[in-house]
Amino acid sequence: MERNKELYDYFFNRTTQLTENWYQSLDKSDPSGIYVSTNPDIIKKVKEQNTEFHRRFCTLFIEDEETFLHYLKDWIISIAKDEEHFKTPIHFILREFFHTQEQYLDLIQEFVQHDTNRYSAEEVESWRRRITQAFSRIITEFTEEYDKFSKAMLAAQEETINELSSPVISLSDKVALLPLVGNIDSVRAKYVLKNTLEQCKIRRINQLLVDLSGVVTIDRLVAQKLFQLIDALNLIGVSCTLSGMRAELAPTVIEMGIDFDKVTIVSSLTQAINSQDFISH
């Protein structure tokens, strides 16, 4: 235990130098990422993050493994969620974890060389094994947190894209337009249904024009969602006018047995807007 404390002190006293050595050896030819930034604030931050890692990693030799990993957990999460690290390809980040691991393995060798007769080969090997095992756990934890954060960010981006790609545009106090553009899959169709119902209810819309002229393809499942939307809108007092329906969709709609009493169908958006029935609301 006393030797472990000596090793801890040896490492801890070199945290700042470890960071400087690490930063100087960085591959500045990376095409992008935090490690090639020339922004002084980012450089300062990445050095502080690295130094904090060293301060925490040193406790490997004076704490049990679970306590050590718990102590590092919030650092791992903070790096996984850090904006600049998130913009850095993950293989560059992992490369630097392995680079740092090599720094510690080299330090073990330096530590032992101060008194080669004091430490057995088995003891040195146990320290080296403990370092590599710790880095393996850290890298695993980091990649899990990075993946979790990436998925959360992707979900948020998809929600924003869905919101922007299915806007309910007010044309008057009671009339609105829902222009649908691009491909509509089942996920987007589900979002369109939910968002449109919410917006029509909030704005107290009583007539909605749904324009499909910008939609590339609509399969049977998406068509079902579309007409579920029309049915749901009718239940809250919103009547629908459907424009721009492509000819290839007609057979699918007929096969589905759609009740056209609940929707007005016109050929184009211009016709819908110019129709007396529409503008009278």
What is the architecture of the domain spanning 2-163? Orthogonal Bundle (1.10)
- Which residues, other chains included, contact 220 with Cβ-Cβ below 8 Å and sequence gap of 6+? 252, 256
User: For the chain, how big is the Rg over CA atoms in Å?
Assistant: 31
Query: What pLDDT, on the 0 to 100 scale, is given for residue 257?
Result: 65
Q: What is the SS3 assignment for 80?
A: helix
Residue 73 CA to residue 188 CA, distance in Å, equals: 36
Enumerate residues 6+ apart whose C-beta is below 8 A from 281: 172, 174, 175, 206, 207
What residues does CATH 3.30.750.24 cover in the chain?
169-279
Predicted pLDDT of residue 98: 96
Q: Please, what is the average pLDDT of the chain? A: 86
User: pLDDT digits over 8-44, tens only?
Assistant: 999 999 999 999 999 999 988 889 899 999 999 999 9
Start and end residues for every CATH 1.10.490.10 domain found in the chain: 2-163
- The model's pLDDT over 32-84, given as tens digits with 9 standing for 90+, comes to 899 999 999 999 999 999 999 999 999 999 998 889 999 999 999 999 999 99
pLDDT digits (tens, 9 = 90+) for 255-276: 766 666 677 888 888 887 776 4
Q: Left if phi > 0, otherwise alpha if psi is -120 to 50, otherwise beta: which for 167?
A: beta
Tokens of 266: 């016109």
Neighbours of 14 (CB within 10 A): 17
Does residue 184 contact residue 215 with C-beta atoms inside 8 Å? yes
Count of residues for the chain? Answer: 281
Q: Strand, helix or coil at 34?
A: helix
Rounded CA gap, 168 and 175, in Å?
10
Residue 190: per-residue pLDDT: 83
Measured distance between the N- and C-terminal CA atoms of the chain, rounded to whole angstroms: 84
Give the model's confidence band at 249: pLDDT under 50 very low, under 70 low, under 90 confident, else very high: low
Tell me: the pLDDT tens digits for 172-212?
A: 888 999 988 877 777 788 888 888 999 999 989 999 999 88
Task: Give DSSP secondary structure letters for 90-118.
Answer: HHHHHHHHHHHHHHHHHHHHHHHHTTTTT
Q: Which of 14-23, 116-125, 209-218, 237-246 is modeled with the greatest confidence?
A: 14-23
Q: Report CA 19 to chain centroid distance, whole Å.
A: 29
Residue 107 confidence (pLDDT) above 60:
yes
- Cα–Cα distance for residue pair 32/52, rounded to 1 Å: 24
The structure's pTM equals 0.66
pLDDT band at 281; cut points 50, 70, 90: very low
Count of CB atoms within 10 A of residue 212's CB? 19
Question: Do 227 and 240 contact (CB within 8 A), yes or no?
Answer: no
Distance separating alpha carbons of residues 166 and 197, to the nearest angstrom: 12
> Which fold, 169-279?
Transcription Regulator spoIIAA (3.30.750)
What one-letter code names the amino acid at 261?
A: D
Lowest mean pLDDT among 141-150, 169-178, 211-220: 211-220
